Structure 1
Amino acid sequence: MGNDGIRDIEAPVTAGGPRVLRRDEWDTWYGTLLRAFGGIPEPAEVLEVYRELTQTDRSLGVWDGDECVGTAGAFAFRMTVPGGAAVPAAGVTMVGVAATHRRRGVLTSMMRRQLDDVRSWGEPLAVLTASEPEIYGRFGYGAATFQLNAEIETDRVRLSVPDGTDDVRVRYAVPADVLDACEAVFARLVPARPGMIERRPGWARLDVLDPADGREGASPLQCVVARRDGEVTGYARFRVRPEWGPSGHNGTVVLQDLAGLDPATEAALWRFLFDVDLTRRLSVRARPVDEAWQYQVSDVRRCRPQLRDALYVRLVDVGAALQARTYQAPVDVVFEVEDAFCPWNEGRWRLTGDAKGASCARTSDAADLALGVRELGAAYLGGVSLGALGAAGRVRELRPGALAEASLGFASDVAPWLPYGF
């Protein structure tokens, strides 16, 4: 579940302030959230999973009498950062405000309480996906990862594959029956890419839920598993949307998710999806922006790639967050950080680090770069260049050469990626 960008201004909250959710209030609370997103009911099996996954002690509600008018939650995640460490991060979710109570400071009051709570939990990062990105910038969240969408004309585009692809066997499997094997593959991939989130218990069930009213004319969920030398090395979950026209078949493969432990496995899975019978298109959503298939296709224009923002990152504790990751080139830079919403972050911080580790502490030394916490969040996972932010006027260079040094150090060879929503 994403986050509702209710437009909210600084104004007195006429309802009560945010308070921690009680378990017996969940149905009412979640109903307020669904209404904020348009009021379309969710299937019973989906509701049941979200009810179990919700951490009520980390969830907030705003109440006006007996009526719930605001919702916000925060999952306890661990997210991979550059260098491979799994860092505690609050996964902000289920944010909504009743239309009857907008522009009364409800959202601001929840964001204020939530970030105070995250700090008290000792979690240096907060992350979210935004239904309305412009809302969360003023709370210090910066767009840190992007995702690739594509509509591939598989009847016109050829795929060249690397050596070893033919050694990989791809076979159909019942999605629920191979869930544990697929999760083992996923777990091995998490440390390798910034932005990936360790799977908490119970989350894997969301990947194999298959309510009929959520298929949008496509088949039930299908799964193939890739094996090399008897070991499961990858999987793909997808649906097929059949269609027929005057010239014959015109179906679409709709990819849900795909993972492979090596290039040959990934290529074998993509080749399978390109060749599904009676289809001419492959619809791809929310993939890494540096995924290899883009460089294996014969005509990228007929894939119609599109970028979209994905994960927004907020540094709750600047020092702890910057110290938790590594830097691909040596850095020794003093940041002058602006953070009006979390003033404990404001001031000068000296970051010293390299590929082996880092330290970050307050300093009275002259600043080399001046920027807001939003810009630090955008650059944190290495997918957004500090240099590009500087060119946009979002980072000010106070010492010549400091921006190039920091930008190189913050970069990541592997594009950060959020593999699933929350």
Structure 2
Amino acid sequence: MTMEPRVLQRSEWDAWYDVLLSAFASEETSQERELYRSLTEVERSLGIWDEGRPVATAGLLSFRMAVPGGAVVPTAGVTMVSVAPTHRRRGLLRSMMRRQLEDVRAAGQEPLAALTASEPAIYGRFGYGLAARALSARIDTSRVALELPAPTAAEADGLRLRQSDEAASLLAECEAVYARVVPRRPGMLARRPGWERMPLLDPERSRAGASPLRCVVALRDGEPVGYARYAVNVRWTETGASDGEVRLRELEALDPAGYAALWRFLWDIDLTTSIVAGDRPLDDPWLHLVNDPRRCGTAVGDSLYLRPVEVGAALAARCYAAPVDVVLEVEDAFCPWNTGRWRLSGDEKGAVCEPTRDAADLSLSVRELGRAYLGGTSLTALAGAGLVAEQRPGSGALRATAAAFTSEVQPWLPHGF
């Protein structure tokens, strides 16, 4: 019997969600389950059933994502994707991925689709390209000094910190800062109502001996200008010396003085000798404030995967670092409506992108377009890998287009979904 995706009914959510938990061998608390239930957009969720039992799941979330130039663009967040082990290699995943993209296109509201990948090798064949990476670090604060520039009188005036061992008590201050930083960095997601609860999830099984989640807020004249969410794991060596660590969950700030004050606070927490930070931007400013980068244990991992659903609307939704007028020949086997030639004309103020019959300057797949879209991956680097081709060598089209696609800051996804 043919099994096709269909829209989830609210009464089916528990059975559908249990398939997802089983696929990821996950445990959860009742608090987590209720949060995920409330955030699931049932009308945008798909399932596949076999003899009345769900065997595959996939959902979409209605996000708005920052893009180069500061616009916050409607984006379909692909999430909760799973196929039961008993039903692998039957084309179920492919059918759900296609149905999702067709539904997004039919709605006509979201030119982009994004996801985080449990297995990166899976999603390239559906046109998703790695658009943002994340930095992790284990900083030896007992041996690395934080060298902060002296704040100006204006920056220092009225700046103070407020700390709480209960992160939820400072939620309003944190969200006020977060909302203001979103347009500054491509890849950041504006939080819809309910999503402010996601960063506060703190199940005991995930603490590995650390404290419950804490928070510190930087205030200037009573107004929040930054915050950090963190936990502390106090440990002791055999000789009785303290050897604890600060686990940084989140840190955002509106200005350098607030940012520096938060890092200084974390650096100076008693009984700790290290800061463990995961999922930070590749160009996080603290990298320029330490005196010994070799003792900071940095590593880079993949984070956000992106694909244009509608090439023309996606390229017109962002701004460009330099004037650009280029014809792109795009190949998109999975969403053939994107295949063809597109003339992109734009600058730092905006852009238009429309189908054309003019000769192509560059050719690339939609996956490579997704990689370059947020400005974190150079079209020149992709050309060096043979993934972007300049159709008229020596024309300068590659150099000019690559310069236009760059971003002032590295793209970054602040939290998963």
Compute the TM-score of the two structures, normalised by the length of structure 2: 0.96
1:145 and 1:222 map into 2 onto residues whose CA distance is 28
1:34 to 5, 13, 21: 21
1:158 aligns with 2:145: yes
Post-superposition CA distance 1:72-103 (Å, at most 9, x none): 00101111111111111100000000010000
1:347 aligns with 2:340: yes
2:92 to 94, 100, 106: 106
Post-superposition CA distance 1:258-288 (Å, at most 9, x none): 1111011111111111111001110000001
Consecutive unaligned residues of structure 1, counting only runs of 5 or more, are 1-13
2:201 and 2:327 map into 1 onto residues whose CA distance is 48
Post-superposition CA distance 1:163-213 (Å, at most 9, x none): 327553122123212101110100000111111111010011122233322
Q: 1:414 maps to which residue?
A: 409
2:107 and 2:138 map into 1 onto residues whose CA distance is 42
Report SS of the residue matched to 1:283: strand
2:19 and 2:355 map into 1 onto residues whose CA distance is 42
Report SS of the residue matched to 2:195: coil
Post-superposition CA distance 1:33-77 (Å, at most 9, x none): 011112x32111011000000000000001111111110001011
1:65 aligns with 2:51: yes
State how 1:291-306 maps to structure 2 within 5 Å. Answer: 291-306=284-299
State how 1:15-414 maps to structure 2 within 5 Å. Answer: 16-38=3-25, 40-122=26-108, 123-164=110-151, 167=157, 168-173=159-164, 174-247=166-239, 248-399=241-392, 400-414=395-409
**Identity in percent:** 60
- Give the stretch that moved more between structures: 167-176 or 155-164: 167-176
- Give the stretch that moved more between structures: 49-58 or 159-168: 159-168
1:256 and 1:166 map into 2 onto residues whose CA distance is 25
1:209 and 1:150 map into 2 onto residues whose CA distance is 22
Please tell me the root mean square deviation across aligned C-alpha atoms, in Å: 1.1
1:33 and 1:250 map into 2 onto residues whose CA distance is 38
- Give the stretch that moved more between structures: 300-309 or 158-167: 158-167
What amino acid maps onto 2:118 in structure 1? S
Report SS of the residue matched to 2:278: strand
What amino acid maps onto 2:412 in structure 1? W
Report SS of the residue matched to 2:99: helix
Consecutive unaligned residues of structure 2, counting only runs of 5 or more, are none
Report SS of the residue matched to 2:208: coil
What amino acid maps onto 2:198 in structure 1? L
What amino acid maps onto 1:194 in structure 2? P
- Give the stretch that moved more between structures: 373-382 or 198-207: 198-207
- Give the stretch that moved more between structures: 169-178 or 230-239: 169-178
Q: 1:127 to 1:272 in 2, by over 3 A?
A: same
1:183 and 1:162 map into 2 onto residues whose CA distance is 27
What amino acid maps onto 2:111 in structure 1? P
2:14 and 2:226 map into 1 onto residues whose CA distance is 37
1:406 and 1:209 map into 2 onto residues whose CA distance is 42
2:246 and 2:169 map into 1 onto residues whose CA distance is 22
Report SS of the residue matched to 1:145: strand
Report SS of the residue matched to 1:403: helix
- Give the stretch that moved more between structures: 207-216 or 181-190: 207-216
1:207 and 1:346 map into 2 onto residues whose CA distance is 39
1:19 and 1:384 map into 2 onto residues whose CA distance is 36
What amino acid maps onto 1:66 in structure 2? G
Report SS of the residue matched to 2:199: helix
- Give the stretch that moved more between structures: 406-415 or 206-215: 206-215
Post-superposition CA distance 1:335-389 (Å, at most 9, x none): 1100000000001000011011111000100000010000000000001000000
1:251 and 1:20 map into 2 onto residues whose CA distance is 48
1:15 and 1:250 map into 2 onto residues whose CA distance is 59
Report SS of the residue matched to 1:94: strand
What amino acid maps onto 1:144 in structure 2? A
1:270 and 1:121 map into 2 onto residues whose CA distance is 44
Q: 1:10 maps to which residue?
A: none
